[in-house]
Amino acid sequence: MMSSSSVEKIKEKLSIVDVVSSYLKLEKAGSNYKAICPFHNEKSPSFFISPGRSSYYCFGCGAKGDIFSFVEQFEGLDFKGALQTLAKRAGVELEAYRGSDPKERNEKDRLYELMEHATRFYETQFAENAEAKAYIESRGLTAESIKHFRIGFAPADWRKLTDALRASGFTDAEIVSSGLAKHPDDKPQGEIYDRFRDRVMFPIGDSGARIIAFSGRLLHDDGSGVQGKYINSPETPIFKKGSVLYGLDKAKFEIRKRDSAILVEGQMDLVLSHQAGFSNTVASSGTALGDSLLSDAGLGALSGLGQVHALSKNLVIAFDADKAGMKAAGRAEKIGLSIGMNVKVAKLPKDMDPADVIRTEGAGQWKKIIDGAQHIVLFYLSVLAESQLTEHTRMRAVRDKILPYIAVMPSAVERVHFIREIHLKTGIPEEALAEDVIRLMSNAEYIPRPAPTAAPQSREASRTTRIEERLFGILLWQEQLSPAHIDTEAVRKRLKEIIGEARFKELYESAEEKKQERIFEVESLYEDPVRLARDAEELLDNLEEESLGRELEELMAKMTEAERSEGSTSIADILEKSQAITNRLNTIKNSRFKN
């Protein structure tokens, strides 16, 4: 198990602001900071970071925690993965974890260890295989890139990796669970054999750089098509295809720094793009593009594209210009647009992929292509303009090829803008275009998904409930300060007088369960102690008014009953109480006009 001292050492060296600001753009909000929440779609910041409490909370979706839970959610890591990521950044040695008893490690720990063994095995095999090295070097990769991306080679032998892993103490069940070996299809109980053979191997890392899967490129292709040119790891307990993009572990902070991500299709494209200086590049090959921000809604963990979306809203897609590449690009473009990204398309020369461009024409030409990327709608409009099409065919192409992209845009303003652009470029009436977009929106394959929101209780809560929540938030906040900015004992006493001892106890205990949320809210609102004291008094007055108003309504109902029963004594009591309540209400109202 991880010792608490390691956790504390990391927290001492890394503040919540240090960690979160490396992923998100923060704005000062008094003593706190705020940002656009990475865990749900929103336009106004509702994600607050408190340096004083070393924690964060989102009022939109309820995400909350400390530096470890943030990295877990954002990077899609487990707790140990987050620890390792932050320990590396903080320069803290996790000796307790590295020296733990192997018997105590769970299934995932064993699989991470196994995948690391496999990666080293493939690296060694690559270094000893002249053909594999010659192939990679012929594709333009440098020794530095080979080492950086840990490129390896799976020998043609049927069980060489399996035997090596067995010799390292891994069981057949673990080797199969990792996706690196399988049983014969016709003999489910037969002896296992290596899934990857005679292939150049590209390790796929999670956001913490732990190897979780592989993509293998066939070295000797006989053209028969029996063996796929590329094969990828199946899903395993540590690899979910929609939760990771190839190279994201190396690109994430460059994406944040440059406020832009480049999405390519293949591993070679990615490695050469990084080699050419575009280290904000990620690839979909060997993984998958999830069609939402989250890969696990229950945990709130971001998908691979969700992480990119949180780091930057600007996405340049540079897929191969062939039919298969364009089809894959179309899916990526729709997903990017549907989650609110600014999606551009880089125009590649015919029959060339990014790796070809970089290898044959250099990094300068690749930069020119990326810089020249156009918004997807404008890109396809320019493609149409260059095509020799009849009027009818052109109009159908707009409907079938371009309008589906507009239909998935979450922003109505953007939809109107691009409908106008199409009208100006083609002459098609805006009304007709809008009608088709509305029709497509009801059938779109990738429709904008509503952002997860907080429970509807807060929207439906009565005025009284909202006032109570604010007051108990202020009380909880101020009670932990020394000295407090307000007289907490006076607030506590008056609250009890207004709502009663039993109700106070019930609400105080309920507020403590949501302490972080309550404190975040009031702390972000009340930076000025003078305003805090004034508003606390006003809230107490409002709460008392609400309470007295209900009492008055109840007395009026009793008055009606008393008049029917002609009970004069009861009527006199009710009138006396009503007058007392009215006097108190007038006192509260008059106090607002003092000074």
Render each residue's pLDDT in the chain as its tens digit; 595 residues.
445 678 889 999 999 999 999 999 999 887 788 899 888 877 778 788 989 888 888 877 778 889 999 999 898 888 888 998 999 999 988 765 444 445 445 889 999 999 999 999 999 999 999 999 999 999 999 999 999 999 999 999 999 999 999 999 999 999 999 999 999 987 878 899 999 999 999 999 998 889 999 999 999 987 666 678 899 999 999 998 878 899 999 999 999 999 999 999 999 999 999 999 999 999 988 777 777 776 766 666 788 888 899 899 999 999 887 666 677 778 889 889 988 899 999 999 988 999 999 999 999 999 999 999 999 999 999 988 888 888 889 899 999 999 999 999 988 888 999 999 999 999 999 999 999 998 888 764 544 444 433 333 333 346 788 788 888 888 988 988 888 889 999 999 999 999 999 989 888 888 777 777 777 777 777 767 777 888 888 889 888 888 888 887 788 777 767 766 765 557 778 878 888 888 888 788 777 555 4
Tokens of residue 521, six digits = 């809210």
The whole-angstrom separation of Cα 387 and Cα 374 is: 17
Tokens of residue 152, six digits = 């390896």
Residue 385's closest CA among 377, 394, 376, 372?
A: 394
Tokens of residue 137, six digits = 């070097």
CATH architecture of 105-239: Alpha-Beta Complex (3.90)
Tokens of residue 338, six digits = 């549907």
The whole-angstrom separation of Cα 9 and Cα 395 is: 64
Tokens of residue 11, six digits = 């927290």
The CATH superfamily holding the domain 14-98 is: Zinc finger, CHC2-typedomain (3.90.580.10)
Could you tell me whether strands 152-154 and 181-182 are parallel, antiparallel, or unpaired per DSSP bridges?
A: unpaired
Beta carbons of 246 and 284 less than 8 angstroms apart: yes
Beta carbons of 170 and 299 less than 8 angstroms apart: no
Q: Computed over its alpha carbons, how large is the radius of gyration of the chain? A: 31
The whole-angstrom separation of Cα 474 and Cα 469 is: 9
pLDDT of residue 219: 94
Collapse the DSSP code of 170 into the 3-class scheme (helix H, G, I; strand E, B; otherwise coil) and give the result.
coil
Residue reference for tokens 């509503």 = 450
The whole-angstrom separation of Cα 338 and Cα 332 is: 10
Tokens of residue 396, six digits = 């159908």
The whole-angstrom separation of Cα 557 and Cα 84 is: 66
Residue reference for tokens 């995932």 = 108
Q: Exposed, middle or buried, 412 (CB in 10 Å: 0-12/13-18/19+)?
A: exposed
Total Cβ atoms within 10 A of residue 142: 13
The whole-angstrom separation of Cα 268 and Cα 252 is: 18
Q: Which residues, other chains included, contact 57 with Cβ-Cβ below 8 Å and sequence gap of 6+?
A: 47, 48, 50, 63, 64, 516, 517, 520
- DSSP state letters, 533-559: HHHHHHHHHHHHHHHHHHHHHHHHHHH
Residue 163's closest CA among 189, 185, 191?
A: 191
Beta carbons of 20 and 70 less than 8 angstroms apart: yes
Tokens of residue 42, six digits = 């929103």
Could you tell me whether strands 301-302 and 294-296 are parallel, antiparallel, or unpaired per DSSP bridges?
A: antiparallel
Q: Which CATH class is domain 243-372?
A: alpha beta
pLDDT of residue 589: 73
pLDDT of residue 328: 72
Residue 321's closest CA among 395, 383, 267, 241?
A: 383
Beta carbons of 391 and 399 less than 8 angstroms apart: no
Q: Which residues, other chains included, contact 575 with Cβ-Cβ below 8 Å and sequence gap of 6+?
A: 559
Residue reference for tokens 């190279």 = 247
Which regions of 333-462 does DSSP assign to beta strands (E)? 342-345, 374-375
- DSSP state letters, 241-267: GGG--BTHHHHHHHHHHHT-EEEESSH
CA distances from 334 to 89, 296, 305, 422, 440 (A): 35, 20, 12, 18, 13
CA angle centred on 507, ends 503 and 512, rounded to 5°: 150
Tokens of residue 7, six digits = 């956790």
Point out which residues pair with 343 in neighbouring strands. Answer: 315
Tokens of residue 431, six digits = 């009304």
Residue reference for tokens 């003078």 = 530
H helix and E strand count, the chain: 28, 18
pLDDT of residue 297: 64
Residue reference for tokens 């809604």 = 297
- Cis preceding-peptide flag for 452 (omega within 30 of 0): no
